[in-house]
Structure 1
Amino acid sequence: MMTAHSARRTDAIPVVSAVRRDDDPVLAGITLRPGTDLARLSRFSDDRWDLMPAFFRENAPPSGADLNFAAIADPVQRLIAKEFIYARLHERLPGSRACLAATAANGTLLMLKRFMAFVAAGAGRVDLAEIDQAMLDGYLAALRAGGRRTAPAIANLLELPIALHRYGQFLTGGGIRFEPWKGRPAFKVAGCTHAQENTTLRIPEPVIAAMLHWSLKYVDCFADDILAAREEIDTLEARCTIMCAERSTQANLALLVRQRLAARVEVLRAAGRGMPVWSGGDRSHRTSPRINYPLLRLYAGCDNTSQITGSDPAMRLIIDALNELGPETGGMDTPISIDPDTGAPWRDRFDTSTLAHEEKMLQAACYVVCAYLSGMRDSEVQAMRTGCHIVERSADGMIERHRIRSVAYKWRGPRGAPEEWVTIAPVGRAVAVLERLAAPAQHQRGLDTLWLVLKLWGKTKDHVSSTIVRTLDEFRTHLDARYGLPGEPAVPNGPNGQP
């Protein structure tokens, strides 16, 4: 008896769409950002679709807006992918909750490519009409192999072949010809005991308690130093820019640089301080002091550090001062506050590298406080804007009520809807810190959202979006390295003994 696989179709599989025109706008009829140029929307025939005009959530990674069909070499698979994603974005079938969100399109495309790769490996090509239940059972077995995936994760992947049957009318070559698994829901086929919306385990209480403790400490004890250091650097850079512009009137730049360096050395000598050297980090493999030339450049009013390092008199002045005064880690002027728990400064003085790192750690701390003490989802936290914290008093004027205004997205459509969350005072303090921390990035990018990438140089995205996960991991690692003890990390490990 021949199976569907052995009795292969000999007719050509279509590679040109019979259901979509080449110039069909991919986002036609979908809610778009205000000001979107409709003439520039991606068309069905394009091999790369830009879905960014339909992205509203600040926590959605920009990379998810780029659907790259050109990466699918087989024209048959490419057509199936285009037609399927287009249909999922636009066609609402009976019994379904809604069309596919633009933010979920890339994830769906990845699942489709995985399924088609499995089919092609087994059948030699992808023809949805040739797929039978035995092949789908083989796909299920492959997903279960190794035990890496949970049953809910497998159920999510099984939704793909089921959808290829349901959306067959929108595919030129048709979809899977039969109802997979005789219509059983994917979560039952995968072996889930019950349908679950969220299978992510809760963070253990000792872990979140430690994260919250250190986050509040950053917000309440360390933030002022970090923000003051940023103001110091901004002031130095602005003054250096002015000095660089004025130097054209000076006859001897080398002499001027040396005089400014000598003046800085005198300030350090009078204060009983040392010459600025870099903190550890990626330079820690060196044992001799590493002069912080970028900081000295700001005091000397140079375009670049070579105007110092290339001058023998300037270098002799710096080396002599280092030998006399000794080194000082960091070298910035911002004083470091006393840690109330230890009675000692909470860190060495800042340099530009450690300042950028501590700003990122402060951002992570603000996120922990805002998310954990408000109960907001990530998308709701990352939709916070300047002025989102409101304090109201009760009618008798005795009780302060703290509220956060943001946007709720779940079941509220692509734009979301304004919403308020009742919270407590520490969240208000974290928002106040975050507003100051985000201000430079807001000014440079012309945005009022609070969760922006703080880096202001080089090519980078605007919003932290999904990178907040890595930032939180980095924050935990930072706390363990600075405040942990051997066998006793600052943030306890999880139940499996891992961070």
Structure 2
Amino acid sequence: MTATGAATAAALALTDPAPDTPVIPSERLRPGVALETVSRFADDWWDLGPLERKETSTTKTLHWKTFPEVLRPSMKRIAWAVINKPTPDVLLRRPKTTARPFISAQTLLHASKTWWDLGDWLALRQITSLDQVDQEILEEYADKVRELGNSFGHARNKLFAVTRMWAYAPFLLPQDRLCMPPWDDLGAEITDFLGEKDEPRGENTTAVIHPATMSPLLVWALRVITDLAPDVLAAWRESQRLLANLPPKAERGRKGKAVYQRLREYFDGLRAAGKAVPTYGGYLAPNLAKAATARGATREEAVSAKFVGGMLGVNQKQVSSFLKRCPEVLEGQKFADGAPLELPITAMIDGRPWTESIEFTQVKQLGLHLSTAALVVIAYLSGMRPEEVLHLEHGCASREEREDGTVRYRVNGRHFKGVVDEEGNIIPEGEMRPEPWTVIELVHRAIEVVEELDQGPLLFSRNLTTAPRADRRHGKALAPGAVVQRLKSFMKWANELAVKHSRDHELIPPDPDGNVTMQRFRRTVAWFIYRRPGGRIALGIQYGHVGSSMGESYGGRSRFDMLEILNFEEGLVMAENLATASERVASGEGVSGPAATRYVVAARAFQVRYEGGFMTKRQHRAIRADPNLRVYEHPESLLTCNHDPFKALCDPDRGRGAGQRTPSFSRCDMACANISRTDTHIERAKVERQAITEELADGLNPFPVAQRLRQRDQKLESIINEHEASCIVPEPRTEDGQ
């Protein structure tokens, strides 16, 4: 038999692995994982981690003891076949399928949740073999899935997990074969079993981080990177120096006596100079004896042996041993609340040092906060996806000075979305991007800062932690789940600094939608920027994804995601503006300006069609497409733009050619026929005039500034007078809504 024939025979062989058969074949193992360490078929739990290639991967396991015992052998054989055999063509040929030639660990884990649920459900019906299951039973299971009330997509995925079991039937023993599910039968529609589809959902369903949370979070992240970083890094370097100065072994004999003499001189020197003995901060307080008793520690145990050892180049065990033998060296000593490093504090907050000192045992936690701040800045201001940020390596950032004097900051790294091999399999480890990301200087600075912290190739490795513990993770990078905990810790620490420095306006409140996660940063920056005048252009510049180098490097994939976000945000903004307009019109506000009639018509049309309901994604698209509903609020110019591209003076082409989709508020012309104003705008104008009057009255402004204020006051007066002379008050709506 030829090698090809043997491989074909193996693929067609019925699945019945021996107890010691590896769960994962050697060709699918993560590099560096030995086949001898892989879970075996007979094991009660299977570790799927060796299937993962991303550095952010965590342990994923199948715990077979929790699966119904009577069906467990069959389900284990099915799971083994799914891992070891290529995906059957019946799944790959399905229209709009997401199935790949080989299943990933994450997909397998999701499918297993349905398998466990189905197994428990079948066991309750006294079913002891999968070949006893008929289509009627599976139809009942579909009813159960529908009644759970989950989204259509979630329910469909659960039924597809059952379909996957059936698809492998030709490779299974007779007792392991499941019949064709009724939803896969010829002519059947999935909606016949799950009901009508809900609105299609995508990346835009990710919750925006609330502005009250995101704004101070970014403020503190930037402050740490730009202001506090030098102090933290200096403490980090000093801490590393002290730790490196600790001898691995204690000196013995004559050298040991010399060490004891050095220690005695050190403590005597502290007493003579009136300096405090460094301690573990947790043991102390102003009353050492009381604190030590409360913690069950002696005075000698409160001394920071590691700090003293690092200062003197002495093994820390030798420091502890010396203090036990010679406790008299502590008599009459002052004790510090911790072990402060002898470093100057250079960073200020409101003109005061941000901290009195940096304590030796706090350095690692401060390093974590600095790393987290860098993570926030990079993830939020670069537009990278979470996996792309967490896989960045040392040396990834570069600075390019151009001949025209401009500077470009680039970041090289991996990308993962849509990266597949020639057979359509996802390449889990991703690939290096052919073109780098273009980022702003702050992102470049954040990368430089974090490069000074961590060891190893990755910027955000899991080596930097205050709680080292054994685990069975397979990746070397920080996992997205761990980022959530670091963000919580960072926000708590930032809030403590805000309180300490009386900056209550910079407190970071909890986000109403739950934990701040990396997935939410990319979504949030679009929301923030798009709502500003000229936001669509600013967002493209900020991300750098809609233009030249980023568009090329994403190859269209990310550009599609970005434009989806932009379009959805435009619909949200327009809906909010129209809702505000309908409220103003309904309350009897006067409306003036060339587009006053169009403003009223748009407000009432929106009120009739959409008032009082939850707007779907389709309705947002309809608003964007309706030329009569293109209402944009411009608070800085105290007006509303009822955008008609053929009348827009901000568009030099006046609708010729492609035209502008949105108004360009940076080129707003007060003579434009698209302008309307309401009583709300005029009230704001009056408030601004009052503020200008008060500022001019004190006479403290230089002449050019005062002149500009007078010009602004005259312009506001003109706007107010024109509105009061020409405004119309819309008639109240009749009972039929007209």
Q: Deviations over 1:222-258 (max 9, x none)?
A: 2222222222222223333189447752447644422
Q: Distance in 2 between matches of 1:380 and 1:24?
A: 36
2:431 is matched with 417
Deviation at 1:221, TM superposition (A): 1.8
**How far does the alpha carbon of each residue in 1:16-58 deviate from its partner, in whole angstroms, 9 at most, with x for none?**
x943443765444855544555676556555544444432211
Return the match for 1:431 from 447, 460, 463: 447
Q: Give the corresponding residue for 1:401.
A: 408
Correspondence 1:343-492 to 2 at 5 A: 343-394=351-402, 396-412=403-419, 413-419=427-433, 420-439=436-455, 442=456, 447-448=457-458, 450-455=460-465, 459=470, 462-465=476-479, 466-484=481-499, 490-492=507-509
In the alignment, which residue of structure 1 is the partner of 2:177?
Answer: 174
CA distance in 2, matches of 1:286, 1:70: 54
**Residues in 2 aligned to 1:121 and 1:265: alpha-carbon distance in whole angstroms:** 76
| Distance (Å, rounded) in 1 between the aligned partners of 2:196 and 2:369 | 40
**Which of 316, 324, 342 is the aligned partner of 1:310?**
324
Q: Is the 8 A contact 1:401 1:422 kept in 2?
A: yes
Q: 1:232 to 1:179 in 2, by over 3 A?
A: same
Q: Deviations over 1:69-112 (max 9, x none)?
A: 35546152343144136326631522233132134433432342
1:263 is displaced (CA, Å) by: 3.2
SS of match in other structure, 1:371: helix
How far the C-alpha of 1:387 sits from its partner, in A, is 0.8
- The one of 337, 343, 349 aligned to 1:334: 343
Larger radius of gyration: 2
| Cα pair distance change 1:257/1:126, threshold 3 Å | farther
Give the corresponding residue for 1:12.
Answer: none
Match of 1:119 in 2: 122
Amino acid at match of 1:19: T
Instruction: Return the structure number with greater relative CO, CA threshold 8 A, min gap 6.
Output: 1
Which aligned pairs between 1:193-272 and structure 2 lie closer than 5 A? 193-197=199-203, 199-241=205-247, 244-245=250-251, 248-251=254-257, 254-266=260-272, 269=274
Distance 1:284 1:152 in 2: 57
Q: How does 1:57-76 map to 2 (within 5 A)?
A: 57-61=54-58, 63-64=59-60, 66-69=61-64, 72=67, 74=69, 76=71
Return 398-407 or 244-253, whichever deviates more: 244-253
Report deviation, 1:318: 2.9
> Match of 2:461, as an amino acid?
W
Give unmatched runs, 5+ long, in structure 2. 1-12, 293-301, 420-426, 517-738
Q: Is the 8 A contact 1:80 1:171 kept in 2?
A: no
Alignment-mate amino acid for residue 365 of structure 1: A
AA at the equivalent of 1:429: R
- 1:226–1:358 Cα contact (<8 Å) kept: yes
Q: Distance in 2 between matches of 1:330 and 1:196?
A: 51
The 5 Å alignment of 1:151-190 reads 152-172=153-173, 173-180=176-183, 182-184=188-190, 189=195
Name 2:700's counterpart in structure 1: none
Structure 2: how far apart are the matches of 1:433 and 1:321?
39
CA contact (8 A) 1:264 1:299 kept: no
Q: Is the 8 A contact 1:87 1:170 kept in 2?
A: no
DSSP 3-state at the match of 1:391: strand
Amino acid at match of 2:228: F
Question: Among 101, 106, 115, which residue is 2:104 paired with?
Answer: 101
Show the counterpart of 1:11: none
The 3 A distance-change label for structure 1 pair 391 and 34 is same
Count of residue pairs brought into register by the alignment: 458
Offset of residue 384 of structure 1: 0.7
* Unaligned ranges ≥5, structure 1: 1-16
- Measured in 2, the distance between the counterparts of 1:338 and 1:487 equals 20
TM-score by length of 2: 0.54
- More divergent stretch after superposition (455-464 vs 48-57): 455-464
Instruction: Tell me the distance in 2 between the aligned counterparts of 1:81 and 1:285.
Output: 62
Q: Aligned letter for 1:320? A: G
Instruction: Establish whether residue 133 from structure 1 lines up as the match of residue 143 from structure 2.
Output: no
Contact persistence 2:183–2:189 (CA under 8 A): yes
Whole-Å separation in 2 of the counterparts to 1:163 and 1:183:
17
CA contact (8 A) 2:210 2:511 kept: yes
**Aligned partners of 2:210, 2:507: CA distance in 1, in Å?**
14
Q: Structure 2: how far apart are the matches of 1:128 and 1:475?
A: 54
CA distance 1:335–1:85, shift in 2 (3 Å): farther
In structure 2, relative to structure 1, the CA distance for the partners of 1:105 and 1:224 (3 Å cut) is farther
Instruction: Give the equivalent residue in structure 2 for 1:8.
Output: none
Q: TM-score, normalised by structure 1?
A: 0.78
CA distance in 2, matches of 1:123, 1:486: 65
Q: Matches of residues 25-64 of structure 1 in structure 2 within 5 Å?
A: 26-28=23-25, 32-34=29-31, 37=34, 44=41, 47-61=44-58, 63-64=59-60
Alpha-carbon deviation of 1:202?
Answer: 1.9
Preserved contact between residue 244 and residue 310 of structure 2 (Cα < 8 Å)? no
Distance 1:218 1:186 in 2: 56
